[in-house]
Amino acid sequence: MTESKQFEKFYRMFRELSRVVHSTSKTDLNEVLKIIVSNTTQGLDAKGAALCIFNKNSNYFHIRASYGIDEKYIALEPLTGKRFMPWPDKNNGIQIITDILNANRVKYPQEAWDIGIRMMLDVPLVIDNMVFGFIRTYFNKKKIFSDDELDFMAAVTEQCACAIDHNDKIKFYILRYNQLATKVDRLSSLGRMAAGIAHEINNPLTGILLYSSNLFKKASENGPFKDGLKIIMEETQRCKTIIQGLLEFSREKKPEKVDANINTIIEKSLALMENEFFIKRIQIKKNLDPDILNFQLDDNQIEQVLINLLLNAIHAVNEKGRIDIRSRMDKQKKSVRIEIQDNGHGIPQGKLKKIFEPFYTTKTNGTGLGLAVSYGIIKNHKGTVNIRSEKATGTLITIDLPIMNKANKITTKG
């Protein structure tokens, strides 16, 4: 075959292979791999080929696709075994095996010889400079490979690696999507269940609280019932607080946006918490950006978020601690940032991912709904919440809110 015809054949095969690898309709990876080994065999005028992938669980290579080789020989899985790693060439180069009967990389040399194999070519599959497999091509006679043939094999393995990597990423994202879909469905079911339970329990609790309050007023100061009724009232009120949290969590109330200023909301929240700060002797340090613009938000909901975060900070620092609250406007990103930082006991790294989940709490008398509701409010404002924490050092919570006008467009100053 002349060089021009051989080049034309390689080009045609490679174009077809590239089309198959990148085709959106070709979702079966095994079919793609079969096409790759058949094209490899035909392109090099070989006896056959096999494609082998490293399995992390078994720590061995396993054949994923083969073409043109006797099934009895393939059943021996001659490519599996630890002898194939690490790859002999540090630069992950092609391995040409000419001495079939004595080569270390040939696991069943006599069986290979008996079916007419006289030479092998191993081309590695590489992703991020790591060999994760290889294509072995079998020849029934020894030959010298041209640069075009070696270039063809290098291009084929690049396409093959691309197909496998693409398939692995698709599997990962499908798995991730299914996990998120399951979580969303679970939370949705939880929300519906919470709303139903809350309505069923709320009325009886109101009755219990009402009658116990009346009995408490009538009970003798020195009698045995006063303390017991007080406990009933306190525990009933705690149940009502949990029910209220369930209702807020299940409703996911849409923000009723008005033109408001974050600094004003922060000041109001701090004023409402002033007594708590004073009792526990907590130092408050403010650093509020005076140039922050008014923009559209639900001031009551944002106030609810800030009060909840401040209560958590108070719980974290206990007495004589310090809480910093900051605001600033990012003109380039057209957003406002709020930071609440405390020097409290911090949150262990293993628990950080759970803090926004419903019913997760570190407080002995907490409902575990405050942060879940707050997270939902910020998301409904198209904002983000991030948290950084170190045990015994403190916690920093960052809220970013986009500056929006009434038409839900980014507001610019001027």
CATH code assigned at 139 = 3.30.450.40
> Is 226 in the same domain as 281?
no
Same domain, 145 and 288: no
CA distance 325 to 89: 58
Could you give the angle at the alpha carbon of 44 between the alpha carbons of 40 and 46, nearest 5°?
A: 90
Same domain, 159 and 186: no
Helix (H, G, I), strand (E, B) or coil at 20: helix
Mean pLDDT value across residues 47-68: 83
- The pair phi, psi for residue 386, each rounded to 5°, is -130, 150
Is 265 within 8 Å of 207 (Cβ atoms)? Answer: no
Note whether 292 and 381 are same-domain residues. yes
Report the alpha-carbon distance of residue 336 to residue 302 in Å, rounded: 13
The answer to whether residue 411 is domain-embedded is no
d(CA 380, CA 412): 22
Residues 272 and 322 grouped into a single domain: yes
pLDDT, tens digit, for every residue of 75-100? 877 666 666 667 777 777 888 889 98
- Single out the residue in 153, 175, 197 at which a domain terminates: 175
Q: Is the pLDDT of residue 401 over 90?
A: yes
Query: Is residue 159 scored above 70 in pLDDT?
Result: yes
Q: Are strands 335-342 and 322-330 parallel, antiparallel or unpaired?
A: antiparallel
Tell me what the mean pLDDT of segment 98-114 comes to.
88
- Note whether 55 and 62 are within 8 A (CB): yes
If pLDDT is split at 50, 70 and 90, which confidence band does 182 have? Answer: low
| 36 token code pair | 């790759």
Domain membership flag for residue 168: yes
pLDDT at 24: 45
Going by C-beta distance under 8 Å and a sequence separation of 6 or more, which residues neighbour residue 318?
Answer: 280, 344, 345
Specify the pairing of strand 322-330 against strand 283-288: parallel
The full 3-state SS of 178-225, as one line of letters, equals HHHHHHHHHHHHHHHHHHHHHHHHHHHHHHHHHHHHHHHHHCCCCCCH
In the predicted structure, residue 293 carries a pLDDT above the cut 90? no
Q: Which carries the bigger pLDDT value, residue 85 or residue 222?
A: 222
Which of 383, 385, 382 shows the shortest CA–CA distance to 371?
385
CA distances from 28 to 39, 103, 132 (A): 17, 35, 20
Residue pLDDT, tens place only, 360-373: 565 555 555 667 77
Q: pTM score, two decimals?
A: 0.45
Strand extents, DSSP E, 298-376: 322-330, 335-342
In this structure, the answer to whether residues 192 and 295 fall within a common structural domain is no
- Residue 131, H or E segment: strand 130-139
| Residue range(s) defining the domain that contains residue 285 | 258-402
* pLDDT value at 391 more than 50: yes
Q: Are residues 206 and 334 in the same domain?
A: no
Question: What's the mean pLDDT in 212-227?
Answer: 80
Q: Are residues 373 and 233 in the same domain?
A: no
The number of folded domains in the chain is 3
- The whole-chain average pLDDT of the chain stands at 78
